[in-house]
Amino acid sequence: MTPDAALEFFRRLAERTPEPRTELEYSTPYQLLVAVVLSAQATDKSVNLATRRLFALAPTPQALIDLGEEKLTECVKTIGLYRAKAKNVFALTKLLIERYAGEVPPDRDALEALPGVGRKTANVVLNSVFRQPVIAVDTHVFRLANRTGLGRGKNVTEVEYALMKNVPDRYLLNAHHWLILHGRYVCTAKKPQCAACCVYDVCDWLEKTN
């Protein structure tokens, strides 16, 4: 995709959704961190159902420690891989209390040092909470970036670096959310909704399908 096409691509997405945000429900940076850890290989809808129960009982790091790992596990058992995720959430919460007085650090290395937190999770938190211009590459973003030509790569790291290079600076802060929403609801995996796509004519996928 050319720079001019990329500029038009994001101009249209921004026009359609001026203030995009994550569909995960949260009230604090800590709650978002927990929700993103739980969201691996799970839908935002299923995570929200679980975190509504969890955050009603334990909205803060100390409250979660007081709740205990067993009850935490019970709260998130409807999510895939829930035992491992609950273990990571409990462990990262203990570390947040020990190292950062229960606050979520605005630093990539510090975040990635927490159990269950990889680069994608760190990027979501850094972008959504601390408003850093980074892009988290999930399955939707990976597919969309390769399909449209915005940022092709064989793995998520390659795609992330390509997007950081190709997304126009003025749109970089919100690019993560626009790409996820477009990939989730329009540029879907099996049956992309090309007829309803607002960026159809600037997408490089046309070159492969014509």
Residues 6 or more apart in contact with residue 175 via CB below 8 angstroms: 10, 135, 163, 167
Catalytic residue among 138, 165, 191, 204: 138
Residue 59 three-state SS = coil
Q: Tell me the residue type at 167.
A: V
Identify whether the C-beta of residue 126 lies closer than 8 Å to the C-beta of residue 132. yes
Is 191 one of the annotated active-site residues of the chain?
no
Is 107 one of the annotated active-site residues of the chain?
no
Number of neighbouring beta carbons within 10 Å of residue 205: 17
Catalytic residue among 120, 169, 191, 208: 120
Distance CA 147, CA 204 (A): 7
3-state SS string over 20-43?
CCCCCCCCCHHHHHHHHHHCCCCC
The dihedral region occupied by 80, where left means phi > 0, alpha psi between -120 and 50, and beta the remainder, is: beta
Residues taking part in catalysis: 120, 138
